[in-house]
Amino acid sequence: MRNCSTGFVLYKLPSWDAEHTPVLQPDTPRLRTLFGEISYASTGSPNMIALPPDPPPIIGRASVIDGDTLEVHGQRIRIWGIDAPEGRQTCTHRGQTYRCGAEAANQLSVFIGAQPVTCAPKGRPDRYGRIVARCEVTAPCEPTDDCVSFRRDLGGWMVGSGWALDFPRYSDGEHAEQEFDAREGRKGLWAGEFQMPWDWRAAR
C-alpha cells in the first residue's frame, strides 16, 4: 500500500508464531535491505522482517593481548576502528630502537588497570575469529574537570595518546581528530619514527 502524502511504500508485517518467529514459506523469495529482509509471498506483496539484534555487550576484567586486542571471559576482542603496532614491531625514538608494540600494549593495560571493560560488538568477527567491538572503561577525570569519573572509549584514548592509529578502512575516520592531535603533540609513537602497522604486516 502506498502512502500518497509521503511517497513511502507501507508493508504489512507477517503473522508471528508462539516463538515470535515470522511465519513464511521456505521457498519464499527474499531481498535483504539496509532496514531488514523483504520476502515476497505468492501475492507479490513484500513482508518486512526485522534483522537479528546486536549481541549483548561483554562486560568484565580484561587481559591485554596487544595494543588493540583484549581478552574478556576467554573471548578475544579486537577494538573497533584502530590499529596498534604488532607485538613484535619495533620503532625508533631519538635514534634508539624500542619495542613499540609491547609499549602500546603496556600503555593500554595501565590505562585500564583493574576496571572492568564494557565491549559492544560491532559487525562481524574479523578473519581471525575475534569479536570486533567498541570498548569503554570508567576512567578518572582530570584534576581540573568538575567530575570524579566518566566512561572513556578505549579506541579513542589509544589513538589520542599516540599509541594506536585511526584505521580509516573500518572506522570511516572516526578517530582522525584524535590522531591529528597526537601527531601535532608528538605523543606516543609520534615522538619518534615508526611504520604504519598495516604496512609492517604487509611486508612480512
pLDDT tens string 142-198: 777 777 667 899 999 999 999 999 999 889 999 999 999 999 999 999 999 999 999
- 45 and 72 assigned to the same domain: no
Of 44-48, 76-80, 101-105, 180-184, minimum mean pLDDT range: 44-48
- Domain membership of residue 203 (yes or no) is no
pLDDT digits (tens, 9 = 90+) for 15-50: 444 344 444 444 444 444 444 444 444 444 555 555
CB 60 within 8 A of CB 118: no
- 101 and 147 assigned to the same domain: yes
3-state helix/strand/coil string of the chain: CECCCCCCECCCCCCECCCCCECCCCCCCEEECCCCEEEECCCCCEEEECCCCCCCCEEECEEEEECCEEEECCEEEEECCEECCCCCCCEEECCEEECHHHHHHHHHHHHHCCCCEEEEECCCCCCCCCEEEEEEEEEECCCCCCCCEEEEEHHHHHHHCCCCEECHHHHCCCCHHHHHHHHHCCCHHHHCECCCHHHHHHCC
In CATH, what number is assigned to the domain containing residue 165?
2.40.50.90
**Confidence grade of residue 52 (pLDDT, cut at 50, 70, 90):** low
Number of domains in the chain: 2
Q: Domain range spanning residue 106? A: 58-186
**Confidence grade of residue 110 (pLDDT, cut at 50, 70, 90):** very high
- Domain membership of residue 3 (yes or no) is no
- 34 and 68 assigned to the same domain: no
- Domain membership of residue 100 (yes or no) is yes
**Confidence grade of residue 203 (pLDDT, cut at 50, 70, 90):** very high
pTM reported for the whole predicted model: 0.71
- 14 and 91 assigned to the same domain: no
- Domain membership of residue 65 (yes or no) is yes
Task: Check the CA dihedral 94-95-96-97 and report its sign.
Answer: positive
Per-residue pLDDT at 144: 72
Per-residue pLDDT at 65: 97
CB 157 within 8 A of CB 144: no
